[in-house]
Structure formats: structure tokens, C-alpha cells
Amino acid sequence: MITLTHYLVLSALLFGLGLYAVLTRRNAVAMLMGIELMLNAANINLVAFNKYAAPGAIQGQIFALIVITLAACEAAVGLALILAAYRRFETTYVDDLTLMKW
């Protein structure tokens, strides 16, 4: 019997994986992949609560849809930023992007 807790645990583990990727990886594109994993974990949470806590409602799915849209836009903008930075600095490793460090 799959309860709400199963989905929440799956979402928590996926979020931890994404967080580990953002904290550890040196390549900016790999950090972005971690961010996508975290957004998907949040979406699983939203849709799971939609099914188990408010079965007749659709607001959870609408919220998840908005999150998917925002994630797509943010990934596009982030990747454009990475390309622009690569064109200027010849590197995508965030350790080397220190121009604005004080």
C-alpha cells in the first residue's frame, strides 16, 4: 500500500541528490542538472499532496505545471548565461569565474 510518505521520501532523496550535485560539481552545466533534479523533487511533492490530501482539487497539479514552466525558462536563461560566459572566459568551471569576486 503506497501512502503519501513513500512519495515524500522519494522526493526528499531526489532533492538531496540534486543538492549534492549543486554543491559538489565544478561544471556549471552539471550544477544546472542538479537544479533540475531539485525542481522535479518539489514537483513530486506537490502532485503527491494533490492526490492524497486534496483528492478533488487540481491546484497541486497546476502549481507543478507552473514550476515546470519556470524550470524550463530558467534552464534556458541559465544555459544562455553559461554560453556567454564561456565565450568570454573560455571556461565553464565555476571555480574560475571569479571576475566579480571582491
Structure-block grid coordinates of residue 62: 497546476
Distance (Å, whole) CA 67 – CA 45: 12
Backbone phi, psi, residue 27, to 5°: -80, 140
Site for another protein in 22-81 (CB under 8 A): 23-27, 29-30, 32-34, 36-37, 40, 43-44, 47-53, 55, 61, 64-65, 68-69, 71-72, 75-76, 79
Nearest Cα neighbor of 85 from 74, 71, 98, 72 is 98
List interacting residues with another protein (CB under 8 A). Answer: 1-21, 23-27, 29-30, 32-34, 36-37, 40, 43-44, 47-53, 55, 61, 64-65, 68-69, 71-72, 75-76, 79, 82-83, 86, 92-93, 95
